């Protein structure tokens, strides 16, 4: 489809103001125009992420130049491309990480942050992949340096990030311990490959981690909770352990015993993805495309979809995420 035949307007989801899910409303917006290295995607599905909720609350504004429309990952069909795009052409089925704009009928994406959809995936499952794969690959394998035979502790094991971390770690021959908030969620974690699943509401995960590792502790810990978990992660980590912080569902302001950081020689690090440069994201996307996307083609990774909602019901999708009842990814469909 040439740019001259593209629709001029589309339905997108933005927020009237910071607040609860009710501030998310469908509105008519101009269809975005792809830049030199960008493709225009006719969106079939968009994944929800915790960052969307934080943005809606007014605590995670889009980076400079990014769309104020919600949504960080999409799947769909390329319908137009910028003059310098070489990786994709109109008609290609793709999934992509975006810095905003995903909750819409059309979205622009950088070609270097985009992947061809593996034949085993449909549009809904494809929309669950880009943000979680890039987050897990960077934080567990690049920053956390997880090796075969080591133990990964992943908090929120039934979340979109959690189910990805469990499966990717297992394919690289690590031992996985997951925490989750119910017996059902723990069962799901074990079904996905977790060697141990801990119900954090009924058990002390520090004690359980040491029991499961013969007192050694976890070599890598992936945490999106923060708060009191920060000090407890120090206690659960092994000597020379690596703790990677990727979010704060609790709080980032804590009091913790940092002496364990020294006595255990821990590495405490963290990252965000959205505001990084296009070049940085391109390098990460290339690493994911080389090391992790092949697992989708081989059927060694199973996308877990909790529920889908029509685009116009984005508020209900956010309510579902905030309920904490979801297992895997929530996806919007157009």
pLDDT digits (tens, 9 = 90+) for 12-26: 999 989 999 999 999
CA atoms within 13 A on the CB side of 83: 0
Q: Give the chain's residues under pLDDT 50.
A: 1-3
Whole-prediction pTM: 0.95
Structural domain boundaries in the chain: 3-129+274-333, 132-270
Instruction: Give me the pLDDT at residue 324, please.
Output: 92
- What CATH architecture does domain 3-129+274-333 belong to? Alpha-Beta Complex (3.90)
Closest CA to 76 of 109, 30, 38: 109
- Domain 132-270: assigned CATH number: 3.40.50.720
Instruction: Give me the pLDDT at residue 4, please.
Output: 52
> How far apart, in whole angstroms, are the C-alpha atoms of residue 9 and residue 26?
13
In this structure, what DSSP letter does residue 214 have? T
Q: What share of residues in the chain are helix, strand, coil (percent, to 5)?
A: 30, 30, 40
107 token code pair: 């979205």
Instruction: Give me the pLDDT at residue 209, please.
Output: 98
- Element of type H or E holding 108: strand 106-110
Instruction: Give me the pLDDT at residue 264, please.
Output: 98
Residue 331: strand, helix, or coil: strand
């Amino acid at each position: 489809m040439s740019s001259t035949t593209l629709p001029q307007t589309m339905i997108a989801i933005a927020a009237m103001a910071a607040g609860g899910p009710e501030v998310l409303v469908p509105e008519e917006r101009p269809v975005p125009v792809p830049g030199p290295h960008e493709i225009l995607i006719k969106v079939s599905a968009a994944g929800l992420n915790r960052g969307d909720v934080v943005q809606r609350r007014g605590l995670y504004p889009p980076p400079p130049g990014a769309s104020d429309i919600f949504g960080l990952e999409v799947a769909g069909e390329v319908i137009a491309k910028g003059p310098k795009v070489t990786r994709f052409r109109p008609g290609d089925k793709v999934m992509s990480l975006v810095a905003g704009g995903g909750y819409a009928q059309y979205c622009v994406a950088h070609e270097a942050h985009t992947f061809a959809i593996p034949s085993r995936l449909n549009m809904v499952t494809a929309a669950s992949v880009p943000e979680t794969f890039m987050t897990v690959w960077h934080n567990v394998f690049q920053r956390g340096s997880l090796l075969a035979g080591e133990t990964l502790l992943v908090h929120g094991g039934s979340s979109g990030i959690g189910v990805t971390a469990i499966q990717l770690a297992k394919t690289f021959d690590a031992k996985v311990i997951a925490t989750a908030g119910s017996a059902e969620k723990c069962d799901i974690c074990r079904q996905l490959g977790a060697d141990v699943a801990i119900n954090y509401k009924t058990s002390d995960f520090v004690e359980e981690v040491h029991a499961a590792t013969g007192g050694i502790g976890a070599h890598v810990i992936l945490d999106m909770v923060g708060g009191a978990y920060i000090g407890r992660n120090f206690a659960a980590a092994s000597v020379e352990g690596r703790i990677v912080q990727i979010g704060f569902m609790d709080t980032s302001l804590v009091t913790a015993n940092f002496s364990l950081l020294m006595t255990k020689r821990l590495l405490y690090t963290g990252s965000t993805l959205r505001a990084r440069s296009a070049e940085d994201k391109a390098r990460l996307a290339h690493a994911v495309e080389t090391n992790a996307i092949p697992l989708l083609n081989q059927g060694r990774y199973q996308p877990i979809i909790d529920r889908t909602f029509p685009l116009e019901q984005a508020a209900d999708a956010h309510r579902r995420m905030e309920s904490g009842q979801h297992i895997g990814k929530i996806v919007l469909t157009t």
